[in-house]
A and B are shown apart, each in its own frame.
Chain A
Amino acid sequence: MSNPLSDMEEPDVIFCIGTNMTECHPVAATRLHQARRRGATLIVADPRRITLAKRADIYLPLKVGTDVALLLGMAHVIAREGLVDSAFIESRTLEADAFLEHIKAFTPEWAEGICEVPAVDIERAALAYARGRRGAVYYTLGITEHICGVDNVQSLCNLVLMTGHIGRAGTGINPMRGQNNIQGAGDAGGLPNNYPGFQSVEKPEFQKKFSALYGRQIDGECGITKVRALEYAVDGKMNAMLICGENTLVSDPDRKHCEKALRALDHLVVVDIFLTETAELADVVLPASAWGETDGVYANTERRVQRVRAAVPPQGQAKPEWWIMSQLAKRLGVSGFEYESAADVFNELCEVSPIYKGLNWERAGAASYHWPVPYDGHPGTPRLHEETFPSKTGRGTFKRIEYREPAEVVDDEYPVWLTTGRRLQHYHTRTMTARAGMQYFVPEETLEVHPKDVEAWGLTDGGKVRMASRRGAVELTVEATDRSPRGTVFGSFGFGDTAVDDLTGAGYDPVTETAELKVCVVRLQPAVPYSEPVA
């Protein structure tokens, strides 16, 4: 997020797109509610009539996968109405002229033809966002889990740059991270392109630094993404894998492909707190201490670095992961793993990462700071981009984006759109929530289908449906609800036994290799009782 969570109480116009915030980041939604109480306008773009949509002043029910068209249409209106922030464009951006020329073709009427949002509502949303003094954009995976995820984000950046809604309280472009420490996994160097602290593996100065620190020559080029690594495994080019705290088999798209990849490995080591579906495929399973049993540090979606603490001892022989990794490293003949506590590890991370340089275990325990914290005594950086952008020129560059269709589009064979997400009471693959009483709310996965579609497709509310895509099929229970629009159905990816993710994964963003989990095409038919089990 460019801005801190506390800033969510400050905007006078809020634009939420591809975020089911009341279910996925419920507490963030309570902060937006404070802005709403003070009269802020809420614009919500989402294919489903989610709770946030019901609370919206302007609701834009776009067709799945058409965000770019909607955002181009909005940009067109803002430029046409002369609502661009010329001073901001002049002092902080590049390539504005080409961009403003580019969007002339994309009228709201053109956008309506693609995203199916009435042109008049696109106009209203664009005017409201541009006219606000403090406009803030919030998005999550509804923007990024597409083959055009990067295009979607760039399109939002364009809106922000043309209106100057950034670098001030109550503004900004704010992706909400989905997991408790997914930010920290990147911060700590769990990336193929960056050392800890986002220091590029391709830069000679960092190569030199980390080769010296870690005691050996490290490749000067980026590694591969997990998506690619799983492909390599299927092709026999990847032989051993260590998976730490991820139920890859259920959370990743295209389960059959994923299972094939994991089974093809000669050596699979899984570190987890439960024997997940993924761990069941492993050669070696290492029991990790869980949240509540482990001392450590998390970084949240606003880059706030916070201490987590053990309140109870680990179950059985479970151990903290830093201990497990250190023991493994020693056996692999690597030095520099003589840690005696999580504090030792965190202090080293701070030492080698400029954005954490001003932090240490003690300081992180005494208060919470937003990184970058470049030196001891620095107050942290709750708000980014106040003066400059992190580019060579310090300016933000407009991108000329074109709309592209999703990897799959509906046809006669697969006439229905499927989109996926989370539910409030469950989390990811439910390894935790299913063991914490949350079954009370959602005992089984259901497929949300519009009531008229239920009727038109010969289904019954509460009855079983067989849903098939080009990659697989699942059987699940129908829930008739007008949350989902006609022609589009919704399922969550959390239930291992009816894994909706068996079906998804038709394409990947070419830049980030993020899977298009939010769109695929399916066909539905009533599941016949006593039919053969679904393969």
Chain B
Amino acid sequence: MSVTSVTSELPTLELDGDHVPFSLGETIYEVAQRHACEIPTLCYDERLDPLGGCRLCVVEVEGFRSPVASCTTKAVAGMKVRTSTDAVEKHRRTLLELVVSENPKARIDPLRGAASQELTVLRNRYDVDGSRFEGKTSGSTRHDDKNPFIARDYDQCISCYRCVRVCAEREGDYAISVMNRGFDTQITTEFNGLLDDSDCTYCGQCVQTCPTGALGDAKAMRAQDDPAPLKATRSVCSYCGVGCGVDLLSKGDKLVGIRPARDGGANAGALCVKGQFAFDFVQHSDRLTEPLVRKDGELRPVSWDEVLDRAAAGFAKAAKDHGRHSVYAVASGRAPHESTYTLQKQIRGAFGTNYIDNCSRA
């Protein structure tokens, strides 16, 4: 069976004049995304149930009286959809002006979180500054929440509920909630308290999905004033065996933060408190920076040459005096494959024994 014939069995709709196939259950937004239509969104996160709250993703559908939210409207065969008519674009621009008018004009540093630039990008794309609707503002920053991990700058909040939804739908923690209605809507925790007093586990998922930087990675933000360019290096978390994909954020030689990899095979964008925030051991002042050898009962710094000679001599002497079964090695469950591979090869190659184990038994 050819690919074409499979495609022809799928229903189609008309998207900006093109006939495109879709699978049953897909939303207009999902279909449009596959066909590279740049529909703007703010409350959308592909991992979450669509909300249809921000109304930026509205499109015109022939036969419908008013534009519909494409993220919540299922595709139907024969539908005629227009994603960027003048009317729709004007509608989006006005909505953005309303949203932006309530927020302080501060620059949002990308260190705040993975999605933190979404509003900034749209603001530039539609060239809006909100001055037309300037006036009352909503959402107030929790300056009293002094936890060192998650900044709660609700002055920048637009009530898209992505934080609330990710906490409930992805994490199952239900730590974040909504208080009041309409203009007085405020994102909060139970009893309007601090994150410490809630069910929050500090996994950082709310931070990473926030499209405005209202929730910020407070640890990474410490490096905001460092002028060095921000670099992201794809790696894997150093903690448990789940093996979450992460991007290591660095500026110059300094590790400044961690970001979950949305395409990480194991984690699909999630992290926990350790993976998200417990990275600064790497450049901690307690790190061993020099080889040490015990002399007169004290561990003293020496050169690599000296330390390696001493280390090797000790093993050689044990093997000579007590036989090759007097030497043992413990491999690390923390280090990469290359560490253990070379260690076991050394033991097997130098002593001809299988006197090696790793830390999995305890």
Contacts and interface: CB of A to CB of B under 8 A. Distances in A.
B282 A267 contact: no
Interface in A233-269: 237-246, 248, 251-253, 266-267, 269
Contacts of A288: 288, 335, 339
Contact of A214 (B169, B233, B349, B360): B349
Contacts of A321: 332, 335-336, 338-339, 342-343
Interface in A185-213: 185-193, 195-196, 201, 210
B241 A216 contact: no
Contact of A287 (B148, B267, B289, B333): B289
Interface string B259-276: 000000111101111110
A360 interface: no
Interface string A284-310: 111110111111111111101011111
A283 B294 contact: yes
A331 B287 contact: no
Contacts of B203: 26
B136 interface: no
A337 B330 contact: no
Given A185-B359, A425-B274, A437-B280, A304 B265 contact: yes
Interface stretch (B89-97, B101-109, B185-193, B244-252): B244-252
Pick from B250, B255, B314, B338 the residue with the most CB of A within 10 Å: B338
Contact of A27 (B244, B279, B354, B359): B244
A316 B335 CA distance: 19
A308 B330 CA distance: 22
A328 B346 contact: yes
Contact of B270 (A27, A186, A286, A325): A27
Contacts of B244: 27
B336 A342 contact: yes
A282 B299 contact: yes
A520 interface: no
B161 to A, nearest CB: 17
Question: What bracket does the count of chain A residues touching chain B fall in?
Answer: 35 or more
B67 to A, nearest CB: 30
9 contacts: A29-B172, A187-B337, A240-B314, A240-B315, A244-B329, A290-B281, A292-B238, A435-B281, A436-B281
Contacts of B293: 283-285
A217 B278 CA distance: 45
**Most B C-beta atoms less than 10 A away, residue of A222, A224, A238, A290:** A290
B341 A292 contact: no
Interface in B320-362: 321-322, 326-346, 348-350, 352-362
A298 B309 contact: no
B243 A304 contact: yes
A240 B327 contact: yes
B219 interface: yes
A299 B236 CA distance: 10
Interface string B214-238: 0000010000000000010111111
Given A222-B354, A329-B350, A300 B281 contact: no
Contacts of A271: 332
Interface of B: 147-149, 169-172, 201-203, 219, 231, 233-245, 248-250, 253-255, 265-268, 270-275, 277-284, 286-294, 299, 304, 307-319, 321-322, 326-346, 348-350, 352-362
A285 B236 CA distance: 27
Contact of B290 (A317, A320, A328, A512): A317
B266 A27 contact: yes
Contacts of B266: 5, 27, 300, 302, 304
B357 A181 contact: no
Nearest to A296: B336
Given A244-B332, A433-B274, A325 B343 contact: yes
A368 B171 CA distance: 25
Given A226-B359, A321-B335, A218 B354 contact: yes
Nearest to A269: B311
A291 B278 contact: no
B357 to A, nearest CB: 4
A431 B282 CA distance: 11
A306 B292 CA distance: 32
Contact of B271 (A27, A227, A252): A27
Contacts of A136: none
A21 B280 CA distance: 24
Contacts of B327: 239-242
Given A180-B333, A274-B287, A25 B358 contact: no
Report which residue of B245, B314, B337 has the largest number of chain A beta carbons within 10 angstroms of its beta carbon. B337
Residue from the set A189, A229, A339 with the largest chain B CB neighbour count within 10 Å: A189
A317 B291 contact: yes
Contacts of B317: 240, 266-267
Contacts of B341: 188-189, 196, 322, 345-346, 348-349
A512 B360 CA distance: 10
B354 A320 contact: no
A365 to B, nearest CB: 9
A209 to B, nearest CB: 12
A349 B317 CA distance: 29
Given A214-B345, A329-B346, A292 B333 contact: no
Given A184-B337, A224-B355, A26 B272 contact: yes
Given A223-B354, A427-B239, A244 B343 contact: yes
B288 A272 contact: yes
Contacts of B326: 237-240
5 nearest A-B pairs in the assembled complex, by CB-CB distance:
A316-B289, A296-B336, A300-B243, A245-B332, A190-B331
